[in-house]
Amino acid sequence: VVEYALNQRGRLFVDIDNTVSDAWLRIRRAALPSWPGETFDSQRAMSPEELMRDSPLPGAQAALASLSRDWEISYLSARGAPGAFEATSEWLKRHGFPNAGQFVLVSQAIDKLAWLEDAASAAGPSRALLLVDDLSRGHHLAKPLPDEQTRQALQQRGIPFEVFDPETSSWPQLAKQLAL
């Protein structure tokens, strides 16, 4: 019975930066020549020390903990730098985020598609799948831009997603919306 119930839960894939962690200060510190910048120092921005300095976004931990009854929570983020896996894992534990069904770091946002496609085919049509992600780029700019390439690719593949805007979205509100 327990195994059946666990296999009926939806699969919720959650981004990290600007979705559950407040990455703005870290990106601002790494912007070149200064913030707002023309680019940013990705080595600095993604160093384990910098990743550990992020604060969780308000309500993210509690919302995901409540959703973990109905959803298998997996973390899927573009943080492909040396030491990022260990630092991110430690950051999630330190801030009390629920254990992951999967925990995957990729180099670029577009690389998430392969993981999501595999999960969708493995889950089958009766098991819900959803990505929650800010789906933005250019965080070193005064205002980030929508990541149209990834958004279009998700739409073309029929992979459902929820855009989480850290300025206007609310984790408690999203948790109510996603409660099965």
Share of the chain above pLDDT 70, in %: 95
CA distance 119 to 56: 26
Share of the chain above pLDDT 90, in %: 86
Q: What is the pLDDT of residues 83-93, one digit of tens each?
A: 999 999 999 99
Q: Judge whether 11 and 130 are in contact, CB under 8 Å.
A: yes
pLDDT on residue 126: 72
Question: Identity (one letter) of the amino acid at 61?
Answer: Q
Q: Which residues contact 106 (CB under 8 A, 6 or more apart)?
A: 76, 77, 78, 79, 80, 112, 115
Per-domain residue ranges for the chain? 1-178
1-178 belongs to which homologous superfamily? HAD superfamily/HAD-like (3.40.50.1000)
Q: Which residues contact 122 (CB under 8 A, 6 or more apart)?
A: none
CA distance 150 to 116: 12
CA distance 53 to 35: 18
What is the overall mean pLDDT for the chain?
93
pLDDT on residue 124: 73
Q: pTM to 2 decimals?
A: 0.93
pLDDT on residue 153: 97
